[in-house]
Amino acid sequence: MRTRTLAAGFFFLFVAGILAYPSAASAASASEINRDVNAALQKLYASSPAAQELKKVAKGVLVFPRIVKGGFVVGGQYGEGALRKDGKTVAYYNSVAASYGLQAGVQAFGYAMFFLSDSALKYLDKSAGWEIGVGPSVVVVDEGLARSLTTTTAKDDIYVFFFDQKGLMAGLGVQGSKITRIHPKK
C-alpha cells in the first residue's frame, strides 16, 4: 500500500511538471508541426469521407496530429497542432489536460476540430486559453455519426474526429482539455 501511494505521488509530480512546462517537454518547431499536420490530414481524409466533406465548408480546421496521454490514478495529456484556414497554417496551439480517477495506461492519438461557424473560430482566436466544454458546442464524430453526417446536416459549431489511436488506456475525449496559442520556433 505504501509503495503504491509513493509511486502515485511521484507520478503526480512528474505529470504536474510536464503540464507546468509543456513547451520544454516537446517544443516542436513550426516546420515539424506542419509536416505532422499534413500527414495527419492526409490519413484522416483518406479514411473518413465525412471529414473530407466538412473540410469544404469549414471556416478552419485545428489539427493535433499526436496527443500523448498517460496516467495511473493521476493523468495528463499534451500535444501540439496547427490551425488551418483555406489549407494554410495561420496559428499554432497546444492541447493540455489533467485528470484524476480510476485510470491506468498510456496512449497516443490525434484529433481534428472542424470549425463550421465564424463565431466559434473567433472564440478560439480571442480566448487566452480555451477550455473545451466552455464556449462553442463541440460534437465528437464517431463511426455511426460519420455515416450520416453531411454538409447539410452539420448544424453545430465544431465537429471533432479522432484518428490514429495507439496504446492501452480507456476513454478518448476532449472535454476539459485546454487549448492555448503557442509560438514555436521556425
**pLDDT confidence of residue 18:** 46
SS3 116: coil
d(CA 47, CA 53): 12
What tens digit of pLDDT does each residue of 142-170 get? 654 544 444 444 567 888 998 888 876 65
Position 23 confidence tier, pLDDT thresholds 50, 70, 90: very low
**pLDDT confidence of residue 24:** 41
What tens digit of pLDDT does each residue of 57-103 get? 999 999 999 999 888 777 788 999 999 999 999 999 999 988 777 66
Any idea what the Cα angle at residue 139 is, between residues 100 and 87, rounded to 5°? 110
Query: Where are the chain's structural domains?
Result: 2-182
SS3 42: helix
Residue 16 has pLDDT above 70, yes or no: no
Grid cell 473518413 — which residue? 48
Q: Which residue has the higher pLDDT, 125 or 133?
A: 125
Position 30 confidence tier, pLDDT thresholds 50, 70, 90: very high
**pLDDT confidence of residue 89:** 97
Residue 41 is placed in which grid cell?
Answer: 490530414
For the chain, the C-alpha Rg in angstroms (whole number) is 17
